[in-house]
Amino acid sequence: MRTPLLRSAARPLRRRLLGSAGAALLAGALLAGGPAGVARAADATPTAIPTASAAAASVPAAAGELPPDGDTVASPPGANDWNCRPSAAHPNPVVLVHGTFANRYENWLVLSPLLKSLGYCVFALDYGTVPGITSSGSGLLLPIGGLAPVTDSAAQLGRFVDLVRGATGAAEVDLVGHSQGGMLPNYYLKFLGGAAKVGKLVALAPSNHGTTLDGITNLAPYFPRVAELIYTACAACRDQAVGSDFNRRMATRPDTVPGVRYTVISTVYDEVVTPYRSQFLDGAGGAGAAAVDNEVVQAHCPLSLAEHVAVAFAPTALHLVTNALDPAHATPVLCG
Query: Does 185 score more than 70 pLDDT?
Result: yes
Q: Is the peptide bond before 224 cis (omega within 30 degrees of 0)?
A: no
Exposed / middle / buried, residue 8 (Cβ in 10 Å: 0-12, 13-18, 19+): exposed
Q: What angle do CA 168, 197, 297 make, to 5 degrees?
A: 95
Residue-level pLDDT at 3: 40
Indicate if the alpha-carbon torsion angle 31, 218, 155, 187 is positive or negative.
Answer: positive
Q: Provide the 10 A C-beta neighbour count for residue 230.
A: 22
What number is the average pLDDT over the span 45-66? 34
C-alpha angle 51-55-58 in degrees, rounded to nearest 5: 140
Tens of pLDDT along 146-184? 999 999 999 999 999 999 999 999 999 999 999 999 999
CA distance linking residue 110 with residue 113, whole number of Å: 6
What integer pLDDT is reported at residue 35 of this predicted model? 38
| Residues 232-284: tens digit of each pLDDT | 888 999 999 999 999 999 999 999 999 999 999 999 999 999 999 999 999 86
Mean pLDDT of all residues belonging to the chain = 79
In the predicted structure, residue 32 carries a pLDDT above the cut 70: no
Write a three-state SS string for 160-178: HHHHHHHHHCCCCEEEEEE
Evaluate if residue 136 carries a pLDDT over 80. no
Q: What is the pLDDT of residues 1-12, one digit of tens each?
A: 444 444 333 333
